[in-house]
Structure 1
Amino acid sequence: MRAGCGTRDGATRQTGEQMDPIRTDIRGAVLEVTLDRPKANAIDLATSQRMGEIFTRFRDDPALRVAILTGAGEKFFCPGWDLKAAAEGASVEGDYGVGGFGGLQELRGLNKPVIIAVNGICCGGGLEVALSGDLILAADHATFALPEIRSGTVADAASIKLPKRIPYHIAMEMLLTGRWMDAAEAARWGMINRVVPADQLMIEARTLADELASGPPLVFAAIKEVVREAEDMKFVDAMARIARNQFETVEKLHHSEDQLEGARAFAEKRDPVWKGR
Structure 2
Amino acid sequence: MTDKTDNAAGPLIIERVETTLRLTLANPPANALSMAMISELQSALDKAANDRTVRVVVIAAAGKVFCAGHDLKEMTAHRADADGGKTFFEDIMKACAKLMQSIVKLPKPVIAEIGGIASAAGCQLVASCDLAISTDKATFATPGVNIGLFCSTPMVALSRNISHKHAMEMLLTGEQIDASSAREYGLINRVVPEEYLTHVVMKYAESIASKSPLTIKIGKEAFYRQAEMNLTDAYDYASNVMVENMMTGDANEGICAFVEKRAPEWKGE
What TM-score comes out, normalization by structure 2 length? 0.87
2:4 alignment partner in structure 1: none
- Indicate the residue corresponding to 1:12 in structure 2: none
Gaps of 5+ in 2: 1-7, 80-84
Which residue does 1:196 correspond to in 2? Answer: 192
Deviations 1:71-92 (A, max 9, x none): 112x100001011212333755
Distance in 2 (CA, whole Å) between partners of 1:81 and 1:162 is 16
Determine the C-alpha separation between the residues in 1 that align with 2:266 and 2:38. Answer: 33
1:80 is matched with 69
Q: 2:104 aligned with 1:105, yes or no?
A: no
Equivalent pair of 1:49/1:96 in contact (CA under 8 Å):
no
Percent identical: 33
Query: 2:200 corresponds to which letter in structure 1?
Result: E
Look up the match of 1:35: 25
- Maintained 8 Å contact 2:227/2:234: no
Range moving further from structure 2, 224-233 or 174-183: 224-233
2:15 maps to which residue?
Answer: 25
Q: Do the aligned partners of 1:50 and 1:103 also contact (CA within 8 Å) in 2?
A: no
Within 5 Å, give how 1:221-236 maps onto structure 2.
221-236=217-232
Is 1:206 the counterpart of 2:202? The answer is yes
Cα shift at 1:251: 6.5
Aligned residues: 255
Asked if 1:253 corresponds to 2:249, the answer is: no
Structure 1: how far apart are the matches of 2:219 and 2:28?
36
Match of 1:15 in 2: none
Q: What are the Cα deviations for residues 216-272 of structure 1, in whole angstroms up to 9, with x where unaligned?
A: 2122112211111112211211222344x4x5xx66633322111111101110121
| CA shift for structure 1 position 102 | 7.7
Which amino acid counterpart does residue 263 of structure 2 have in structure 1?
Answer: D
Q: Please say if residues 77 and 121 of structure 1, whose CA atoms lie closer than 8 Å, have aligned partners that are also in contact.
A: yes
TM score, norm. by length of structure 1: 0.85
Determine the structure 2 residue equivalent to 1:268.
Answer: 260
CA distance in 1, matches of 2:39, 2:196: 30
Task: Summarize deviations over 1:141-195 as a string: whole Å, max 9, x none.
Answer: 1111000111212212332232332232221110001011011111122211111
Cα RMSD over matched residues?
2.2
CA contact (8 A) 2:12 2:26 kept: yes
Higher relative contact order (CA closer than 8 Å, sequence separation 6+): 1
CA contact (8 A) 2:132 2:190 kept: yes
Cα distance in 1 for residues equivalent to 2:75 and 2:237: 45
One-letter amino acid matched to 2:133? L
